[in-house]
Structure 1
């Protein structure tokens, strides 16, 4: 009897053990292999590769500029953002604030220096003022560039090599360039066909010493005003003329109030896109490579597009009744000779005579 009871008890124990084994097998999931004995609890397991790891996090750079949404450089910054995001698989993005939302051009350059803004677009003279590096203004001396093709040569061979050591020392790295075209003069009182025609004209110029000196040496009454005041000052005859490139003039609708656009080609502006140096150093090396390659592509495309944009702007001015005025080579050379003191001054103060000579050689070559 007792043997029978023992057998029955063993049978019950066997059934219980089998049930327990089946339950354990069910909890182990669909895997056919048992978990390692030293496996961590599920809550402590490493996260799946879902983009949360630092190396895969998207880097979004805050970019500021002063242009309207339809301006050439604004459009190419947007294109740069798209290309960077695509080339990096979504790891690099630009967050762009245009139209001066973040301040004036100089204010944004200063924000980049402080690190409150990552990137921005400015000419050499603006960077010079913001970074207290006056030699950078040499890039915007008058009569250095005959046309946009000449500008492109200088962009490729001079600008970054010249600007990088100066800017990086101040805390901003120059990344690439845009052509801001070649400037002419939109006037209301008379066309400018010769150096003599400039005498006494009240010309609105940027709030920058190089521009003031240039127009003063040419014989004008240079009036430094912010760009936001250009339309009002010309329409109300506070000034007789506004100097800028065709695209920028039309972007501000100045063809509505101007009568003559004289192709003085007195100043070519190359815009440098700069980034806060500490921010740049925080970007992984592989993304830096993607950034450099992509910006080089976009820079070249922008230069070619700028020619098309400027011609379209000239056509729009003509359609609005603005007379397009050519300046002869002889008169152009007279104007260039009149500003020679500026070259001499920059060489004496900053020792940039060789750089100026190289820029002029490349920028004015046939």
Structure 2
């Protein structure tokens, strides 16, 4: 009888143990500097929903918008340390950890979305995904913010000479600074959080950002012209802590990877659609929007061509050569 009770007790303990394992949960915090109006928000919510549903709730996902977990750099460091599990960042931010990511800051690298996708989904993307893993980070999706263009308070920009002497706020990134210098502007690196005030006070004449961000930040209130130079393609990967990824069971890893690919497709489509809608909205404001014709576009490309040689020293000739091949696609 005692032996029977002992066996029964062991069996119940094994069942309890198995239940404990199956009931294990994983908390996933997702960082985003975006808000409810950002084009990445609906795809990100769907990503979170899919992960929770496909793991039967074992992975609990919370999204933290408006940079409440910190800026992109702080959040990326958090993912390295394992204090934050996932987040949207930028290749410019990743470039502070590995300079090879600055390859996306080369001017006029991509002529259109299709060319950009081909590069991200091909050899260039593969090289950078491996570089990211070396930093303890895994790229789940190559998200995008669209093409950066220039707004200013003085005049339309049709040719590089129109930028002569203009103080243009730019990112704190050497290739961005060099690009504006090559175009004859006076680049002024500045935090984005200070930009609206700087524009309204005339501290700087203009700035460069994709149409979606230019509209959502209401720069049309303090800028008169927006010229579609489309000089840099802004890439915003969805990244996960590799430490957290490896702690997940294999079947949950597969769920995360599949959800990441769906996010990638969704955010790309959303960005393209919203970009076109936003340009139309900007045209309804007091801001005057102008395109750059093919002949003048060549002048911009020629003026910034030397930046590629400079980039070889910064990011490496091998990856710049791969990027150069994108120009011919």
Q: What secondary structure is seen at the aligned counterpart in 1 of 2:48?
A: helix
Q: Which residue of the other structure, out of 239, 243, 253, is the alignment partner of 1:274?
A: 239
Per the alignment, residue 29 of structure 2 pairs with: 62
Shift of residue 274, structure 1, vs aligned partner? 1.7
Shift of residue 39, structure 1, vs aligned partner? 4.8
Matches of residues 203-242 of structure 1 in structure 2 within 5 Å? 203-242=168-207
Q: Is the 8 A contact 1:145 1:182 kept in 2?
A: no
Matches of residues 249-328 of structure 1 in structure 2 within 5 Å? 249-328=214-293
Per the alignment, residue 96 of structure 1 pairs with: 63
Answering whether residue 86 of structure 2 is matched by residue 106 of structure 1, we say no
Q: Is the 8 A contact 1:178 1:270 kept in 2?
A: yes
Instruction: Give the number of the structure with larger relative contact order, counting CA–CA contacts within 8 Å between residues 6 or more apart.
Output: 2
Cα distance between partner residues in 1 of 2:15 and 2:224: 66
Q: How many residues align?
A: 327
Q: What secondary structure is seen at the aligned counterpart in 2 of 1:162?
A: helix
Cα distance between partner residues in 1 of 2:308 and 2:133: 25
After superposition, the C-alpha distances for 1:258-295 in whole angstroms (9 at most, x for unaligned) are: 21110001000111222222111111111111111121
Shift of residue 38, structure 1, vs aligned partner? 3.4
Shift of residue 315, structure 1, vs aligned partner? 1.9
Query: 1:52 and 1:312, CA in 2 relative to 1: closer, same or farther beyond 3 A?
Result: farther
TM-score normalised by the chain length of structure 1? 0.83
Matches of residues 152-231 of structure 1 in structure 2 within 5 Å? 152-231=117-196
Shift of residue 41, structure 1, vs aligned partner? 6.8
Q: Is the 8 A contact 1:154 1:359 kept in 2?
A: yes
TM-score normalised by the chain length of structure 2? 0.92
Per the alignment, residue 30 of structure 1 pairs with: none
Cα distance between partner residues in 1 of 2:123 and 2:195: 32
Per the alignment, residue 124 of structure 1 pairs with: 91
Unaligned runs of 5+ in 1: 1-33
Per the alignment, residue 80 of structure 1 pairs with: 47
Q: Is the 8 A contact 1:123 1:140 kept in 2?
A: no
Q: What secondary structure is seen at the aligned counterpart in 2 of 1:37?
A: helix
Answering whether residue 2 of structure 2 is matched by residue 46 of structure 1, we say no
CA-atom RMSD, angstroms?
Answer: 2.3
Q: What secondary structure is seen at the aligned counterpart in 2 of 1:216?
A: helix
Cα distance between partner residues in 1 of 2:236 and 2:126: 15
Please say which of residues 352-361 and 261-270 is displaced more in the overlay.
352-361
Cα distance between partner residues in 2 of 1:361 and 1:294: 32
Q: What secondary structure is seen at the aligned counterpart in 2 of 1:66?
A: coil
Q: What secondary structure is seen at the aligned counterpart in 1 of 2:172?
A: coil
Q: Is the 8 A contact 2:119 2:125 kept in 1?
A: no
Answering whether residue 313 of structure 2 is matched by residue 343 of structure 1, we say no
After superposition, the C-alpha distances for 1:188-228 in whole angstroms (9 at most, x for unaligned) are: 11110111111111111112222111111111110111111
Q: Is the 8 A contact 2:144 2:267 kept in 1?
A: yes
Cα distance between partner residues in 2 of 1:164 and 1:46: 44
Unaligned runs of 5+ in 2: none
